[in-house]
Structures are given as structure tokens and as C-alpha cells.
Amino acid sequence: MIYQGLIVTVGVIVTLNALQISCQCLECPTKTHPQDAFCQDDFVIRTTITDVTEVDPKTSYKIDIVKVFKEPAVPSIVPTCVPSGLSVPPECFFSLHVLNASLPCGVELEVGQEYLISGTEEDGEMIIDACSLAIPWEEVTSHMKIGLNKRYKKNCQCQTGEDNCIVEPPEDELCFCQYATCVEVKKDDCAPVCKWKKSKTFKTCVEGP
């Protein structure tokens, strides 16, 4: 489902819950695998940051949603925000809350940059932190795009870091994020197992230039 020309107001708010969220965020891995983020988060979108207005302590971003890979459960957030003609319905304006970039869980987005973003929905609001995906779209590999369009959703029963989908060695974590997906494999009458499906570029990534 593609949403083009959708303009949304995004607010950045630092709350008294910052310390609690920061403690939770510190438990996140160095690199959150996009498959885990896709399966665990409430929404996943491709979006462009088009403008920013700073009013201390808030920063308001204006974004253009290019594509929705995973819709949040609350229908008022994204699914109802399909522009009618040239107008944008009032319900399409909402807040995306993130912590200040100076905090452990802070997120900083650059105007003019296109991102792959994931996050959670709470009380009708979209929220992201450092555990969420906030990857410049130019860094999203073709293997990741296949995952976003079908493979991640199809294999949410598998989780990275478990069974045969362990990231080993740890220093190759980025290569696993960009060029490997934990998929379910069935053979004959045996119980299905999860294992890494790696792209041809995975080996090149591991070996380096």
C-alpha cells in the first residue's frame, strides 16, 4: 500500500519518563535487526523529512510518507490518512514523539533525508526511540527491501539471536542486519526450523573491501 504526497506534522517531546525509557533503551542491541523491528514494532514506514520547526523544548518535523510497510493497529494513525483530492484530512495531522538527541535514547532526523522508520503506537500517538529503525533510505539494501515487502512478515515466528539464527561473530552484526533474514525452513516430515537466509552479498560484506 503506497501513500504519496501525505503530509504529517511530527512533534518531538522530552517528558519526565525520559529516564525510564532510557533505561529500557540501553537494553537494545547495538544494531536492531530490521526483521526484529518489523515484527515487534507497531508500524514501519518509508518517509521523507521535509521541514522542521523548533520551539523549545519541542521540535516539530513535517514528513512525507512514501510507503507504509506495516500499518499500526489503530486505524486513525495511517490507514485513514489517504489524501482526498488535493486536500489532506485533519485526522492526518498527529505527533511522532522522540527523545532529545542528547539523551541515550534520543533520535535526530535530518531535513531532506529519506528514512526507513519503525516505532510503537501508544494512545493513538506514534513513538520512536533509539531502539526503533531510523535508517537513511539510501542505506537500505535490496535484501532488506525484499524483507520489508514480504519476507519479514512471513517469518515473524523466527527471531534473530535464537537457535540457528545467532549473530556470530558479533562484529559481523551489521552484515547480518543488511544481508540476512531468519526464515523458517521445512524438510520432509521434520518439524520446521529457523535458519539464516543470506544474500550473495553477505560474504562480500563480511570479508570487507
SS percent in the chain: helix, strand, coil, step 5: 25, 35, 45
- The SS3 of residue 60 is strand
Question: Residues at the annotated binding site for Zn(2+)?
Answer: 23
CA–CA gap between residue 105 and residue 96 (Å, rounded) = 15
CA–CA gap between residue 121 and residue 42 (Å, rounded) = 6
pLDDT the model gives residue 21:
42
pLDDT the model gives residue 135:
93
Centroid of chain to Cα 152: 12
pLDDT the model gives residue 128:
79
CA–CA gap between residue 193 and residue 14 (Å, rounded) = 43
pLDDT the model gives residue 95:
54
pLDDT the model gives residue 122:
76
Q: H or E segment at 52?
A: strand 43-55
Centroid of chain to Cα 204: 25
pLDDT the model gives residue 161:
85
Evaluate whether 112 touches 137 at the Cβ level (below 8 Å): no
All cell numbers assigned to 114? 529519506
User: Which pLDDT tens digits describe the chain residue by residue (209 residues)?
Assistant: 444 444 444 433 333 343 344 435 544 555 689 999 999 999 898 888 877 776 665 566 677 778 889 987 655 455 445 444 444 454 554 456 666 566 566 678 898 999 999 988 877 677 778 888 989 999 999 999 999 999 999 999 998 987 789 988 988 999 999 999 999 998 877 888 999 999 999 999 999 87
pLDDT the model gives residue 47:
84
Q: Return the closest-CA partner of residue 117 out of 63, 74, 77.
A: 63
CA–CA gap between residue 73 and residue 3 (Å, rounded) = 17
Answer CATH for 36-139 from 1.10.287.4070, 2.60.40.10, 2.40.50.140, 2.40.50.120 = 2.40.50.120
Question: Residues at the annotated binding site?
Answer: 23
Q: Where does the chain hold its CATH 2.40.50.120 domain(s)?
A: 36-139
